[in-house]
Structure 1
Amino acid sequence: MLQSNAPASRVKNTPTFAAVGSPYFGILLAFMAVIVIISNIGGSKGVLIGPIVTDGGFFLFPFAYILGDVISEIYGFKVARKAIVTTFVLSIFASLCYWVIIALPGFTDDFGMAKQEALEVALGPVPQIVLAGLLGFLAGQTINSWVMVRLKARQGEKKLWARLMGSSGAGEFVDTVIFCTIAAPVIGIVGFGMFANYVLVGFVYKTAVEFLFIPVTTVVIRWFKRHEPSYQAA
């Protein structure tokens, strides 16, 4: 009996993941890439709401991590890592496109010059913001996915909320510190007090958004588990 039960126990605790043959993964990846690219553009604008110091991408970026949680839970760490790298490359491509657009000769009338100046101001700082976003995203999302999958290996299909909370806190902390350190000078944040405000607000806000969306994320993950053809939970 002991020999027959041991393999069954091991099989039961083995985490289940889906293959990427269905169209669902492509949809998730597309949304995550678009969110990160738009967030990098918005991140070039400093935002001051009362005493709160943040940037223009603050309302959007947490959803990239929510999508990262869904991908990690459904498809596993290797697939999530491919999604992170793909988003990384697409963000670099977008940044190069901005550089080409700015460098192209434009109209020399007043309206054309005004548009050129607006593009330079809006998209000019983006490469450094992209660097900050990419390094933060690469490190933070990798840690987020790794923690998510490691906890799933221990918990199986149970305690999804704990995986979402644990991975979000770790990933967002690393991401926020890296991003804020590189992006602060471009945005116009000076002084330690303003910088500390920027880091603290960013971390607390993004983590809070992920925590508040845990019920929604849970419903979405359960939907994917039911409809993803290759996902067969134990």
Structure 2
Amino acid sequence: MFENLTKTDLYAILTGVFTACMIVSNIIAGKTFDFFSFVLPCGVVIFPIVYVVNDVLAEIYGYEKARRVIILGFFMNLIAVICYNITIWLPAPVFFENSEAFSVVLGSTFRLLIAGFAAYLVGSLVNARLMVYLKKWDEEKLFVRCILSTLFGEGMDALIFITIGFLGTMPTDALIVMIVAQALFKTAYEIIVYPLTKVVIVRVRELPD
């Protein structure tokens, strides 16, 4: 399947992985979980993968191509949300007993929808832009680029999503802790998987165009 793979081929694959992860993240982001007394949105389970792919896209293909994938991910997510809501709105047959559960899982309040879309766009673009900017500043420090771009990108994502999505529903101090914890959790995740990110980037660089 991956024989004679080119950078162009891989760009299409990474685009598919990125958009799929974004759609999954949108579905699971409405639930929170307790992580050693810290409350985090369940979107953190898959969202760090998005930033690893984002790093590879920005590092190998440049900001403009990374931005195209980010914008495509946004519109595919929007299409998914529209389809969910149309499906929820359509009347179910009498024998279908899971309409309420279906609506709870795939439905989303307008507030969380706006929070997710705004956080995704800003966070992903900040991550990609900073990755490219730091590469121009010092091309050798890949680790610094990956971690700093994720820290700032995830910081903006957490700040926007949690503030818009949960402000007024919990104490302010809990909100701040949630923002910091989410950003640090995702950054720590990228530090752990950095060896994999580096291997992928090095291998992709060796591929023919």
Aligned twin of 1:87: 73
Q: TM-score, normalised on structure 1?
A: 0.81
Deviations for 1:98-126, whole angstroms, at most 9, x for unmatched residues? Answer: 001101110224xx2x4111111112226
How much does 1:48 deviate? Answer: 2.3
How much does 1:54 deviate? Answer: 1.1
Aligned twin of 1:160: 142
Q: Name which structure has the greater RCO, CA cutoff 8 Å, separation 6+.
A: 1
The unaligned stretches of length 5 or more in structure 1 are 1-19
1:146 counterpart (129, 134, 137)? 129
* Aligned AA (1:201): A
Aligned twin of 2:32: 46
Aligned twin of 1:3: none
Rg comparison, structure with higher value = 1
Aligned residues: 204
How much does 1:189 deviate? Answer: 4.7
Map 1:28-177; keep pairs closer than 5 Å: 28-109=14-95, 112=96, 114-125=97-108, 128-156=111-139, 158-177=140-159
How much does 1:50 deviate? Answer: 4.4
Q: For residues 7 and 145 of structure 2, what CA distance do their matches in structure 1 show?
A: 25
* Aligned AA (2:60): I
Q: TM-score, normalised on structure 2?
A: 0.91
Deviations for 1:37-80, whole angstroms, at most 9, x for unmatched residues? Answer: 10111111121244120122221101101100000000000101
* Aligned AA (1:73): E
Q: For residues 163 and 21 of structure 1, what CA distance do their matches in structure 2 show?
A: 21
| Maintained 8 Å contact 1:44/1:126 | no
Aligned twin of 1:16: none
2:192 counterpart (203, 212, 220)? 212
Q: For residues 50 and 189 of structure 1, what CA distance do their matches in structure 2 show?
A: 21
Aligned twin of 1:15: none
How much does 1:182 deviate? Answer: 2.0
The unaligned stretches of length 5 or more in structure 2 are 1-5
| Maintained 8 Å contact 1:69/1:164 | yes
* Aligned AA (2:199): V
Q: Secondary structure at the match of 2:77?
A: helix
Once the two structures are aligned, what percentage of the paired residues are identical?
31
Aligned twin of 1:9: none
Taking only aligned residues, the RMSD between alpha carbons, in angstroms, comes to 1.8
How much does 1:198 deviate? Answer: 1.6
